[in-house]
């Protein structure tokens, strides 16, 4: 199986950076999320340079939902990135990580009044998703005597080749302002108290393995930008979202590189803005492409069972990695302590959750597997831990970061006591 540079095989063991996965599992226990900081930096630098080669006026907003751990956010802050934040929680963490409020965009289709107040207080731009939200934001900003810069989330009505649950720019999607309302939305914003419409925003979907839809979205955005300029909107930024996929099937997915993405999108964007005669910043919001391959999930084998097929029962299930259950996603798995052995038998790797859909990897050829072995699930850095739950009263596992020969917790594992501590005794039930 093709492996990215930070994953290697040495003496039969899978290594992440300079760490033997078996030693990490021994020291920290399983299940365990392991993130390679160096890989984050490489991924960011590559994506950023690919775009900046075409246009220097680019701002990278890491999509914090992919993995919102403080250590990850601080790494991105150190690289000069901002963030796409989708909740007050993500906004607070991005600021605590040291990101400049100027480099954040508060996205979301259902914000509370408190969310809007926080954005105004902190001077963070808001991507507005409805006329109703615009009215409330205007009231909030006016009450505080402050102005707030906004974009609207545009619905570009684009069909993209990905799982329907993560195609976010369809005409039928819950996100964004439909085409026939966009000009009215900006007119309303130009007139609204304490609102300054300076941006446009869209996001067409996630795990997209073709560049054409991105180029199409850029074309739609610049077309609208021209009309907005005509009605007096002074655009400071155009945000084309994230969405570039990664090759989860290491040997067969043909995933576009960031350079191919940039080569497809940037000429369309640059010609478009040149035609209008404006020079807005280009904002992008990648999540998966920066984080996906940086992280593996190490999970221990509790037992092996032969029934109508061979099951490998491991200690991580969809409580820790929801993607296979939710989107039928594919993740490569490697037996980390037999990484140089030939595949011998077909196994299905299943988690400990009480649902038959709790399958991490179905029908995979693996070397002979035994109780006590260690399975590494690859490409878990985006939407892995961030979508984990405590289902079946299973405390969420730790996350560690490795950097050179160092390793450290970036989040300790939860305990059952942590779970219990959020529960309250009912006053009418005797102790």
Return residues touching ligand LLP (CB under 6 A). 63, 66, 84, 107, 166, 168, 203, 206-207, 241-243, 285-289, 323, 327, 382-383, 387
**Which CB, 25 or 353, lies closer to ligand LLP?**
353
CB of 285 to ligand LLP, least distance (A): 4
CB of 68 to ligand LLP, least distance (A): 12
Cβ neighbours for 290, distance < 8 A, ≥ 6 positions apart: 40, 43, 44, 47, 62, 66, 76, 382
Using DSSP bridges, classify how beta strands 345-350 and 399-403 pair: parallel, antiparallel or unpaired: unpaired
CB of 215 to ligand LLP, least distance (A): 16
To the query of whether residue 354 is one of the catalytic residues in this protein, the response is yes
Cα–Cα nearest to 109, from 83, 91, 127: 127
383 appears as a binding residue in the annotation? yes
Residues pairing with 60 in the sheet: 284
39 appears as a binding residue in the annotation? no
In the sheet with 19-20, reading across from the earlier edge strand, the strands are: 7-10, 13-16, 19-20
CB of 341 to ligand LLP, least distance (A): 30
Secondary structure (3-state) at 187: helix
How crowded is residue 173: how many other Cβ atoms within 10 Å of its Cβ? 18
Q: Which of 21, 202, 354, 380 does the annotation list as catalytic?
A: 354
Whether the CB-CB separation of 238 and 219 falls below 8 Å is answered with no
243 appears as a binding residue in the annotation? yes
**Which CB, 55 or 327, lies closer to ligand LLP?**
327
**Which CB, 86 or 347, lies closer to ligand LLP?**
86
φ/ψ region of 17 (left if φ > 0, alpha if ψ in -120 to 50, else beta) reads left
Whether the CB-CB separation of 368 and 342 falls below 8 Å is answered with no
226 appears as a binding residue in the annotation? no
**Which CB, 179 or 387, lies closer to ligand LLP?**
387
199 appears as a binding residue in the annotation? no
Q: Report the distance separating Cα 182 and Cα 190, nearest Å.
A: 12
Residue with tokens 């869209």: 202
Give the active site residues: 354
Binding annotation for substrate: 288, 323, 327, 355, 383
Binding annotation: 243, 285-288, 323, 327, 355, 383
Binding annotation for pyridoxal 5'-phosphate: 243, 285-288, 383
């Amino acid at each position: 199986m093709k492996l990215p540079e930070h994953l290697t095989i040495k003496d039969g063991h899978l290594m992440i950076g300079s760490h033997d996965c078996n030693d990490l599992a021994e020291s920290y226990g399983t299940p365990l999320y392991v993130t390679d900081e160096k890989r984050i930096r490489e991924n960011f630098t590559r994506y950023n340079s690919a775009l900046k080669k075409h246009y220097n006026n680019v701002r990278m907003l890491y999509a914090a939902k992919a993995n919102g751990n403080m250590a990850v956010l601080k790494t991105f802050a150190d690289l000069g990135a901002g963030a796409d934040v989708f909740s007050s929680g993500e906004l607070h963490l991005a600021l605590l990580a040291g990101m400049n409020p100027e480099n954040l965009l508060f996205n979301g289709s259902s914000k509370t009044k408190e969310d809007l107040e926080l954005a105004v207080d902190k001077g963070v731009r808001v991507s507005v998703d409805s006329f109703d939200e615009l009215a409330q934001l205007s009231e909030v900003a006016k009450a505080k005597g402050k102005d707030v810069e906004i974009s609207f989330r545009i619905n570009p009505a684009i069909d993209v080749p990905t799982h329907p649950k993560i195609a976010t720019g369809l005409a039928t999607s819950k996100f964004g302002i439909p085409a026939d309302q966009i000009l009215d939305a900006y007119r309303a914003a130009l007139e609204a108290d304490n609102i300054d419409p300076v941006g446009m925003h869209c996001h067409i979907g996630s795990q997209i393995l073709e560049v054409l839809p991105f180029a199409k979205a850029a074309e739609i955005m610049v077309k609208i930008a021209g009309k907005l300029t005509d009605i007096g909107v002074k655009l400071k930024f155009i945000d084309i979202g994230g969405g570039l996929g990664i090759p989860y099937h290491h040997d067969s997915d043909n995933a576009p590189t960031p350079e191919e993405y940039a080569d497809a999108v940037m000429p369309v964007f640059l010609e478009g803005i040149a035609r209008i005669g404006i020079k807005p910043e280009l904002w992008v919001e990648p999540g998966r492409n920066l984080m996906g391959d940086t992280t593996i999930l190490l999970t221990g084998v509790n037992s092996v069972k032969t029934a109508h097929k061979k099951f490998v029962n491991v200690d991580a299930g969809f409580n820790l990695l929801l993607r296979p259950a939710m989107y039928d996603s594919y993740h490569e798995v490697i037996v980390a302590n037999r990484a140089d052995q030939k595949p011998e038998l077909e196994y299905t790797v299943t988690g400990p959750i009480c649902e038959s859909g709790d399958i991490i990897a179905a029908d995979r050829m693996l070397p002979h597997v035994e109780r006590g072995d260690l399975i590494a699930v690859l490409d878990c850095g985006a939407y892995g831990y961030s979508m984990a739950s405590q289902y079946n009263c299973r405390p969420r596992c730790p996350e560690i970061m490795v950097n050179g020969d160092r390793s450290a917790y970036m989040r300790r594992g939860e305990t059952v006591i942590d779970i219990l501590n959020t529960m309250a005794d009912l006053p009418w039930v005797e102790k």
